[in-house]
Amino acid sequence: MNVKLPQSDPIGAYQRKAIAARRIGPQQCACGEARPEALCAGRDPVICAECERATRGITTMDDHHLFRQVNSPLTVPVPVNDHAADLTVAQNNWPKETRDNPDGSPLLAAAACIRGFVDWVFYVIQKGMLWIPEMLEALNRFLVDKFGPQWWIGTPLAQFAPKKA
């Protein structure tokens, strides 16, 4: 499942995605990374930023400016591929005046803080949490196949079954 925020500039987002895809083409890294924004241009064979850094023996993490550097010095460490393909892409979908804040407006900085926080929460949900319901659903299918449709009856998990109205 891929959680996406509404974009303030869907045409611009589409154009940026198309440019990134044209830059790389329909290829992927040996590790399976296929997001064009995470792939290094001009490399044959194609390699993602994470694998490229790993082969050079340098960190595969980036310091992501959560609210854009112009609005706050706060950073959080993230995998380089996610930085390029998820978080920076999300920030590029912000209104330009908030993203760039050329005059240092405190109101635009506050708007960037909200936008950055929302982007971060969606990222953490997608990367850190969505595997859990998928795993629980797969486990339930396995248990139904092995023990029947009400496999939890007579187990300590019965206490968590929804109560009938």
**Contact between 42 and 25 (Cβ < 8 Å):** no
pLDDT of 2 > 70? The answer is no
More confident residue, 25 or 6: 25
For 14-34, what is the mean pLDDT? 76
Q: How many helices (H) and strands (E) does the chain have?
A: 7, 2
Q: Tell me, what's the pLDDT at 1? A: 44
Q: pLDDT tens digits for 54-69? A: 999 999 999 999 999 9
Confidence of residue 8 (pLDDT cuts 50, 70, 90): low
Q: Tell me, what's the pLDDT at 81? A: 97
Cβ-based burial of 61 (10 A; exposed 0-12, middle 13-18, buried ≥19):
middle
